[in-house]
Amino acid sequence: MAEFTDQFAENGGISGLMEALAMHGGLQQRVCVVVGVTGDGKSTTGNTLCGRDVFETSTGLCSATRGHAIGTYTAGGSLHGTLWRVIDTIGFEDSCLPQDEVARLFGAFADDCMDGVDAFLFVVKWGRFKPEHERALDAFASNAGEDALRHTLLVFTHCDVDNLDAILASDAAPKSLRERWLPRLAGAVGVDNEQRLVARARLQTALDGLVARLKNERYSHDSLRAAQKRRDAAREADREAFRAAVLDWRKKDGPLVVERFGRPVEKDK
């Protein structure tokens, strides 16, 4: 009996069994990718969805997730429900890795969802919407493309307010969040991961609502690859502009002017 139990655990336990059933047509399959800034509760939110501690968590400046990690859970019943695959990605704004390396590790999740992504959860700690959140959303849009945003729910952690939508629509919300980001995203939900059962129910309701609104349309693997190609091309153009400006600067006196993303940036000699 002990040998059977050990073997069952090695094969993923109940989650492994449910995934095997899904692969053989027993369950519908969906994919949710969790993204966000390191330290805001990204991996903890993934654990809440899965109903157990699947992902390593970190409260420091370095993401505990290197590359990506995968967990599974079932919603709507074990036999006729839906198997959700949750992919936890490396945190943006990770101070321990170069930006290019973070982008490369973030994009690696695509190999584990070749049929597409049903939803992204962009996790932000409730409180001030900080510049690093703005940068992380910019990085997410740059790496995944604009189309990913309409598949994305903004998830506020440490948030137990009952009137979240009203707050986000009011002047109490930062203007950039209210005007620049929320109109492009699929919605927002607040959770307190300390109350795991309540938080899990809220997240699942939000996910089911998003899938229904999009009529089962998925964000595609090809969209991610196309976005990454555009990002890499823009970075190469930026580097080329810098090299050209340096060569030009060496030929004459005066400040060095480099055009970055279409805007002139003056640098001292």
- Measured CA to CA, the distance from residue 76 to residue 88 in angstroms comes to 22
Contact 37, 91 (CB under 8 A): yes
DSSP string, 79-106: TTSEEEEEEEEPPBT-TTS-HHHHHHHH
Contact 90, 68 (CB under 8 A): yes
- Is it the case that residue 1 has pLDDT exceeding 80? no
State phi, psi for 155 to the nearest 5 degrees: -110, 115
Residue type, 69: A
Q: Determine the pLDDT at residue 4.
A: 43
Q: 259 versus 132: which is more confidently predicted?
A: 132
Q: 265 versus 192: which is more confidently predicted?
A: 192
Number of H helices, E strands in the chain: 10, 8
Q: 68-72, 119-123, 134-138, 253-257 — which is least confidently predicted? A: 253-257
Could you please state the CATH topology (level 3) that the domain comprising 11-219 is classified under: Rossmann fold (3.40.50)
- Measured CA to CA, the distance from residue 202 to residue 93 in angstroms comes to 27
Contact 159, 189 (CB under 8 A): no
pLDDT band per the 50, 70, 90 thresholds, residue 100: confident
Q: Where are the alpha helices (DSSP H) in the chain?
A: 2-10, 13-23, 42-50, 99-107, 131-144, 146-149, 164-169, 175, 196-213, 221-250
pTM listed for this prediction: 0.74
